[in-house]
Amino acid sequence: MTAAACCLFFISVFMGIKIWKLKRDVFFFSDRLIRCLNDMTCGREPENIEEEGDTLWNKVYERLQKLERIWKRESAENLEEKKKMKSLISDISHQTKTPIANIKLYEEVLLDEGLDSAEAGEFLQKIRIQTEKLDFLLQSMVKMSRLETGIIEVRCMKLPLCGTLQRAVEAIVLKAEKKQIRLSVDCDEDIVVHHDTKWTEEAVFNLLDNAVKYTGREGNIEISVSVQEIFTKISIRDSGKGIALERQAEIFTRFYREPEVYDQEGIGVGLYLARKIITMQGGYIQVCSEVGKGSDFQIYLPNG
């Protein structure tokens, strides 16, 4: 055999071995990939067969792990969203039952031909009150669902805080005057805070509405603002009935009403919405309260 023939023979053998190894590697690679994908689609941890060095398999497996983590995170988020939606639907169903049942009852009474005009007018007034309550409830539900599902987003900008507080106070003045409650505001006009004016106004109004509701006649509500190193604090202090320590963690939950105040107007969403709005802006709310001595709700907004 000539040297050239020997050289060609060894080259062909070498190439044959290389092709065989390549086929084997492709087979093993595809087999591992299929097993990993099957594990992932079945919710199992994908099996890894470590290879030394910076191999193609190690690179692919690393990306598969990242993809699996993304899937798991999105799956957990979707499950949490479903739980929230289920809870919201359950709350809506529960809260609307009473006013709807009352409206039906009053309608049945109105159908009684024995009622005189004065009695009929009385029941029409009751229907109007229940209808307004239902309308307010549904509006609150819409706000909650939009905030919770991210349909509504807060848009924070560096703006003067006093104007936001002033609008919230103006919206509550008439209600406070009916109970002869004195309102005072202490806010430096130069204070600028990173906040969404519309939604912050709503949060402050909800806290003021709560303060007016549970403060007796000729009481006091004081709004003050102080700038701290990281946050700006808005304090809403009232001379109302106060909140027991063991209930202070519950008052921000959706539809919470204290047992002894069920005769008061409201549905128990104001404080929940206030905290949700402030939290979405990177802030938080604290409450300091003592039964019989009033409450101090403190909003902390980041200076930005």
31 or 135: whose pLDDT is higher? 135
Residue 34 domain-assigned (yes or no)? no
Confidence (pLDDT) at 185: 93
- Strand, coil or helix: what is 102? helix
Number of H helices, E strands in the chain: 6, 7
- Please give the backbone phi and psi of residue 81, each rounded to the nearest 5 degrees, phi first: -65, -40
Find the domain containing 118 and state its range: 75-149
Confidence (pLDDT) at 6: 63
Q: What percent of the chain has pLDDT over 70?
A: 62
Confidence (pLDDT) at 31: 64
Tell me if 192 sits within 8 A of 160, measured CB to CB.
Answer: yes
Confidence (pLDDT) at 161: 94
Tell me if 194 sits within 8 A of 157, measured CB to CB.
Answer: yes
Strand partners, 284: 300
For residue 181, the one-letter residue type is I
Confidence (pLDDT) at 201: 93
Per-residue pLDDT, averaged over 33-38, amounts to 66
Residue 164 domain-assigned (yes or no)? yes
Is there a single domain that holds both residue 195 and residue 163? yes
Confidence (pLDDT) at 99: 74
Q: What is the pLDDT of residues 161-202, one digit of tens each?
A: 999 999 999 999 999 999 999 999 999 999 999 999 999 999
How is residue 187 written in tokens?
Answer: 């806010």
CATH code of the domain covering residue 88: 1.10.287.130
How is residue 254 written in tokens?
Answer: 């959706």
Tell me the average pLDDT of the chain.
78
For residue 187, the one-letter residue type is C
Confidence (pLDDT) at 172: 92
Interhelix angle 270-280/197-213, rounded to 10 degrees, is 150
Q: What is the pLDDT of residues 196-228, one digit of tens each?
A: 999 999 999 999 999 998 899 999 999 999 999
Residue 241 domain-assigned (yes or no)? yes
Most confident of 72-76, 80-84, 89-93, 236-240: 236-240
Question: CA 184, 175, 243, 203 torsion: positive or negative?
Answer: negative
Rounded Cα distance, 195 and 165, in Å: 12
Rounded Cα distance, 149 and 87, in Å: 13
Is there a single domain that holds both residue 223 and residue 295? yes
**Residue 233 reports pLDDT greater than 70:** yes
Residue 87 domain-assigned (yes or no)? yes
Q: What is the pLDDT of residues 250-285, one digit of tens each?
A: 888 877 766 665 555 666 778 888 999 999 999 999
Number of domains in the chain: 2
Residue 203 domain-assigned (yes or no)? yes
Is there a single domain that holds both residue 286 and residue 192? yes
Ramachandran region, residue 43 (left: φ > 0; alpha: ψ -120 to 50; beta: rest): left
